[in-house]
Structure 1
Amino acid sequence: MFQFNPSKGMLALAAMNLITGTTANLKTCASSSGFSCQSSSTTPTCCFNYPGGAFLQTQFWDTDPVTGPSNSWTIHGLWPDNCDGTYEANCDSSRAYTNITEILQAQDRSDLVSYMDKYWVDINGDNESFWEHEWGKHGTCINTIEPSCYTGYESQEEVGDYFQKTVDLFKGLDTYKALAAAGITPSNSKTYTAGAIKAALAKVHDGAEVYISCSSGKLNQVWYFFNVQGNIIDGKYEAVDSLTSSACSKSGIKYVPKN
């Protein structure tokens, strides 16, 4: 799914436009189906994401308290956006499951759970509740992974697919390495410009502009935006510019270490 690019010195999504194959039992989508947010269609189908057609792979840099490894950002989630910065939330209360760990383990995804426990972590130490929140608020609003879109659907199958896809995207968007390759490393004394940070991250996002967030002048979030052709699990992802304007200062941004 990913290829190593020696010129960038890190894992990158191969051209960010490859079809990312999985073993999901979703209905087959024609390669001619349009990209989300780029079609005039307003009809959601199992092969067309609507209204949440833009997808954000979002990441945290938590330092107070610290979460995750000192040399890696952590996962926030995978969110559908209505192509304009607005979004639907908590779309299906009947599928707002409160046992994500059990669901994943029952699907023989224990390795996925272990990875999530390291890289998809809650600031208060309650990973399970965090995962439940992300699935209930965002996952249930993705129309191309509704149960009716599966062939031979097995209960809660879409839950495992959603978390696996989010992790796969995260693995191909190594924010820490992308910044380090541009000389942007955690420091208690150095500061950086927003332009330099965005330029470094655009190199792993097919040149598309990312969204950065700051808290008290410190870099703490990155959002990568995509449009998708087909369903979100094994569809074709295309990197697109951020739909959200950053409130970070243009200069003097701190990127403090995880002490």
Structure 2
Amino acid sequence: MVILGSSMLMKLSLMLSLTVVTLANNSGDFHLFYFVQQWLGSYCDQNGERCCYPVTGKPAADFTIYGLWPYYNDGSFPYNCGGGNFDEALIKPMQDRLRKEWPSVTCPDIGRKFWVHEWNKHGSCSKSVLAEIPYFQAALNLKYKVNLLQALAKAGIRPNNQVYPLKAFKKAIARATGFHPWIDCNHNSQGQSQIWQVSMCVDRSGTRLKNCPFLPRGPGNCASKIKFPSF
């Protein structure tokens, strides 16, 4: 009969815990997606940040895709699930659309590395439902479906460096899409709260918007009135 010491039991317990986490992250048993768009005017105007435009030039003044993230039914995210290595050749036919709708403006310019990062960190956790091409196509289709700039313009909300009520942003987007958004803000160098990211919930197929049963984990960080900076 082998008697395990306390240190060995602790090691075994840790190994079991890590195994459970690994299985959970690779199970593909996610609940829904968060489809996240960002306003580059706020990204480039936030305190301590600067933008580096891609080789194709400055992106259009529009909301752009930030990510399509699977999440569990408690609101937490699986990530880095493995086995979903990015194959650049597969997305070449949609590369021009991705450059327009899903650009990166981080410094130094990372170009396609942004898509690699998003697939390996988030897309790999949805690969049981959406392989690489369907994953990126789903994000593009959602971008065309959820036209945030148009929805806000219809409500008289434009990127003109003016301040608008946070409730007005939410109401305009809900009226246009039929579903309530989650809005995150950042702050410019003057400390003003400004619209940055807008998240909508999407079903497991990546095609249909849904009301969010859980809000994204995070502070939200918006004041009651927020700036819509130009870009």
Normalised-by-shorter TM-score class: 0.7 to 0.9
Amino acid at match of 1:55: F
Match of 1:226 in 2: 202
The alpha-carbon deviation at position 204 of structure 1 amounts to: 3.0
**In the aligned structure 2, how far is the partner of 1:238 from the partner of 1:123?**
27
**Partner of residue 164, structure 2:** 192
Distance 1:238 1:179 in 2: 18
Aligned structure 1 segments of 4 or more residues deviating by more than 4 angstroms: none
**1:1-259 alignment runs, 5 A limit:** 51-63=29-41, 64=44, 65=51, 68-70=59-61, 72-92=62-82, 94-97=83-86, 99-100=87-88, 102-105=89-92, 110=93, 112-124=94-106, 125-142=109-126, 144-145=128-129, 158-188=131-161, 190-206=162-178, 208-216=179-187, 217-228=193-204, 232=205, 237-241=208-212, 243-244=215-216, 246-251=220-225, 253-258=226-231
Cα deviation, 1:133-188, whole Å, max 9, x if unaligned, reads: 11001111015337xxxxxxxxxxx2111111110011100111111111110122
Residues 69-118 of structure 1 deviation map (CA, whole Å, 9 limit, x = unaligned): 01x111111110112321110101x3222x42x2223xxxx2x2101111
| Residues 58 and 78 in structure 1, CA contact (< 8 A), matched pair in contact too | yes
Instruction: Letter of the 1:68 partner, please give it.
Output: P
The letter for the 1-side match of 2:81 is C
Does the aligned pair in 2 maintain the 1:84–1:243 contact within 8 Å?
Answer: no
Question: Between Structure 1 and Structure 2, whose CA radius of gyration is higher?
Answer: 2
- The alignment yields a C-alpha RMSD, in angstroms, of 2.2
Aligned residues: 183
Name the TM-score, length of structure 1 as normaliser: 0.65
1:205–1:224 contact (8 Å) kept in structure 2: no
Give ranges in structure 2 of 5+ residues lacking alignment: 1-23, 45-50, 188-192
Describe the SS at the equivalent of 2:227.
coil
Distance change >3 Å, CA 56–CA 91, structure 1 → 2: same
* Percent of matched pairs sharing the same residue: 27
Q: Give secondary structure in 2 for the equivalent of 1:170.
A: helix
Q: Normalising by the residue count of structure 2, what TM-score does the alignment of the two structures yield? A: 0.72
Give unpaired runs (5+ residues) of structure 1: 1-43, 147-157
Relative to its length, the structure with more helix (as a share) is: 2
